[in-house]
Amino acid sequence: MTASTSRSEIILIAGPTASGKSAAALALAEQLAGTVINADSMQVYRELSMLSARPDAAETAAVPHRLYGTVPANEAYSVGRWLDDAGAAIAEARDAGRMPILVGGTGLYFKTLLEGLSPVPDIPAEVRAFWRGQANVLSPEDLHQELMARDPVMAARLQPRDPQRVVRALEVIDATDVSLAEWQGREGTPIVARASARKLVVAPEREPLYAVIDARFDRMIEAGAVAEVEALMALGLDPGLPAMRALGVRELSAYLAGRMTREEAAIKAKTESRRYAKRQMTWLKRFMTDWGWFPDSETAVAAASRATP
């Protein structure tokens, strides 16, 4: 990323799922000749149009959108890849004289954008394959015990109920002989300088947000989310892939397999979506204390518009 891009003005919009942040991004992009750039880890996947609430055809026709539906579900898209792709999309927008507007619910994406990514080296494919294989045969508790023996610092930070991060820590210590904790402590290079960014969080009150989450899932079902999951399951993908953990996939696949009724699947998916929103809010409150917080998209858009020179 060039220095000029780091100095350029940019808008970042975060918020929990169904908060209205995408509507805010679209409105600002129309006002400010902006390009909307995805910062959501599930909206990148090509096969997850409805369940990830990806912008529809009318929205993508109104203003340029980047990094939506660009990755096949059989790939494990990483924060490092997103950082490279986002940097290129920001540069493209600036070169076209457009305002980059990044929007999404993946807090880690924004954190790495502003702070840089810890310089963990690439993990050899055979090491990654070994530990992912171990995750299929060992219990989460046994994996965590293995990490405790090899890297007690990371083991103390992680819980057995988070096997994905435990496996990642095992991969790193195995491949580099250096704890992931030490790698994470090394300073990265930011893509965007904090002073150059207008940082907005759209954070509705809990009960209204939960009502919107429930209603949106009902609309997803009506729009064909079951068929979307059926097509995804037909690919025969590894259930450990990120796309297979998207909200609603597990529940609707259980319905398709006859393990749940459609109503039970919808109730469970809504519950998991509300829990996910709660976790997102916890992240936002911890790491985005210096961002501007707004109760809805309209207030956020008005505030950002007033700040425009």
C-alpha span between 200 and 3 (Å, rounded): 23
**Among the residues of the chain, which ranges form H helices?**
3-7, 21-32, 57-62, 79-95, 107-115, 125-137, 140-150, 152-157, 163-176, 180-185, 206-223, 225-233, 249-256, 262-287, 297-306
Provide the CATH number for the domain around residue 148: 1.10.20.140
| Of residues 269 and 164, more confidently modeled | 269
Number of helices (H), then strands (E), belonging to the chain: the values are: 15, 6
Average pLDDT, the chain: 92
Share of the chain above pLDDT 70, in %: 96
pLDDT > 70? residue 7 = no
User: 308 falls in which pLDDT band (50, 70, 90)?
Assistant: low
pTM of the model: 0.82
Q: Which residue has the tokens 């809010």?
A: 281
Q: What is the pLDDT of residue 187?
A: 77
Find residue 201's DSSP bridge partners: 14, 293
Given a contact cutoff of 8 angstroms between Cβ atoms, the answer to whether 110 and 12 are in contact is: yes
pLDDT > 50? residue 3 = no
Q: What is the pLDDT of residue 2?
A: 34
Provide the CATH number for the domain around residue 84: 3.40.50.300
Query: What is the Cα Rg of the chain in Å?
Result: 20
Is the same domain home to 88 and 227? Answer: yes
Number of domains in the chain: 2
Is the same domain home to 134 and 241? Answer: no
Is the same domain home to 221 and 141? Answer: no
Is the same domain home to 100 and 178? Answer: no
Question: What is the extent of the structural domain holding 161?
Answer: 125-185
Is the same domain home to 97 and 215? Answer: yes
Using one digit for the tens of pLDDT, what is the confidence trace for 67-117?
Answer: 999 999 999 888 889 999 999 999 999 999 999 999 999 999 999 999 998
C-alpha span between 92 and 114 (Å, rounded): 19
| Of residues 6 and 46, more confidently modeled | 46
Burial of residue 11 (number of CB atoms within 10 Å: 0-12, 13-18, 19+):
buried
Angle between helices 225-233 and 206-223 (to 10 degrees): 70
Is the same domain home to 224 and 83? Answer: yes
Using one digit for the tens of pLDDT, what is the confidence trace for 190-249?
Answer: 999 999 999 999 999 999 999 999 999 999 999 999 999 999 999 999 887 889 999 999
Residue 273: name the closest of 222, 237, 219, 228 by CA: 219
User: What count of residues does the chain have?
Assistant: 309
